[in-house]
Structure 1
Amino acid sequence: MILPIVAYGDPVLKQEGEEIEKDYEGLEQLIENMWETMYNARGVGLAAPQIGKSIRLFIVDASPFADDAAEGEPDPKAEGLEGFKKVFINPIIEEEGEEWAFEEGCLSIPTVREDVYRKEKITITYFDEDFNFHEETYDGYAARIIQHEYDHIDGILFTDHLSILKKRLLNKKLTNIAKGQVNIDYRMRFPKQKRRK
């Protein structure tokens, strides 16, 4: 089932998610719905807070980056992304290395894209959808996508990484998104949209 994606300005996007147990009610269906919702919106990642659930769960499918690299010049940051599709539950992340800039967007903040600096390498421990434990290290786009989604379960948006000046310049656009005054082609829930009587 395709769920509405929560738009910028909703308090759930600023809450730190809670860890979940293996017997979390409806987990399998929730994950299935998240995949369907993410693909419908043509995203590469989706975190549970973006569908209104304040829990430590996100999904990633980075294969579009591998497809883009295959079509153009080879990109070392896209190596290993073919079939890179994972569920991350209760993750813990460690970041290291130099920071690099990359233009990020977010399904909860449509039409806004800005350069964000992040560390180049991460080590992450997490449980998959079957609650098997993993410890893995990533760099390049894989690390970037995971860091972006991990921020969501900590109540952080990519716009929080921007300078005060940049945020000020985006303020009207962000306010309009919260009000639903944005042109999108996937389901969203807007926190400040006026209800029709």
Structure 2
Amino acid sequence: MILNIILYDNPILRIKGKAIEAFDQQLKDLASDMLETMAFYKGVGLAAQQIGKALQFAVVDVSSSKIPSSLLIGGKPVPVEEHMPLFLINPTLKYTRSKEISNEGCLSFPGLRIDVPRSKRVEVNTFDLNGKPRKFEAGGFLAIAIQHEYDHLQGKLFIDYLSAEQRKTIKEDLERIKRGEPILSNKDKE
């Protein structure tokens, strides 16, 4: 079932998710709905907050992206597409000090793209849909997507990385999103 995406300024986007305690059919049904919703809106990640549920649960699938990703399980590289989709359930992340700027969008901010500093690699401890612990390292686009979704689970948004001056430059776009209007292209703003 395709779910509604919660847009910017809805308070639930600022709520840290509650831990998942039951690895049951209800969670599997939610995962299926979230994957279907993410695919419908052409996203690569979706957090529970974005569909109105403050939970420590997100889905990620970068298999359709042309941007390089890497995945290591047990310290060994594995084909990323063979492990998609990923389910982040009660995840914890360990970041590298090395950062890069990522140009990101977000389903809760349709049409908005901003530059965000992200760790180049991230170590993830999480659970699968059956409650089995999983540990892996991600790099490239997969690492960016995981960090973006993890932030959602903590009630943090990608616009929080902007300085006050940078925030001023997107103020009009944020107001349009709040009103449910499309963001104007630079050409349309002139």
Both structures adopt the same fold (TM-score exceeding 0.5): yes
Name the TM tier (shorter chain).
0.7 to 0.9
Q: What secondary structure sits across from 1:149 in the alignment?
A: helix
Q: Aligned partners of 1:168, 1:25: CA distance in 2, in Å?
A: 45
CA-CA distance at 1:25 after TM superposition: 7.2
Q: CA deviation at 1:81?
A: 3.3
Q: Secondary structure at the match of 1:125?
A: strand
Letter of the aligned partner of 2:131 in structure 1? F
Extract unaligned runs of 5+ from structure 1.
Answer: 70-76, 184-197
CA distance in 1, matches of 2:143, 2:150: 10
Amino acid at match of 1:60: V
Q: Partner of 1:72 in structure 2? A: none
Larger CA deviation: 103-112 vs 156-165: 156-165
Q: 2:99 corresponds to which letter in structure 1? A: E
Return 5+ residue gaps in structure 2 as ranges. Answer: 71-78, 184-190
> What is the CA-CA distance between 1:78 and the residue it aligns to?
2.9
* TM-score normalized by the length of structure 2: 0.86
Whether 1:78 and 2:77 are equivalent positions in the alignment is no
Distance 1:136 1:23, change over 3 A: closer
Aligned pairs for 1:88-103 (under 5 A) are 88-103=88-103
Question: Superposed, which structure 2 residues align to 1:27-176 within 5 Å?
Answer: 27-65=27-65, 68=66, 77-79=68-70, 80-83=79-82, 84-176=84-176
* Number of positions where the alignment pairs a residue of Structure 1 with one of Structure 2: 174
Report percent identity of matched pairs: 36
Q: Deviations over 1:90-132 (max 9, x none)?
A: 0011101311011100000011001111111111110111111
State the shift of 1:141 in Å: 1.2
Runs of 4 or more consecutive aligned structure 1 residues displaced over 4 Å after TM superposition? none
CA drift at 1:182: 2.0
CA contact (8 A) 1:63 1:82 kept: yes
TM-score with structure 1 length normalisation? 0.84
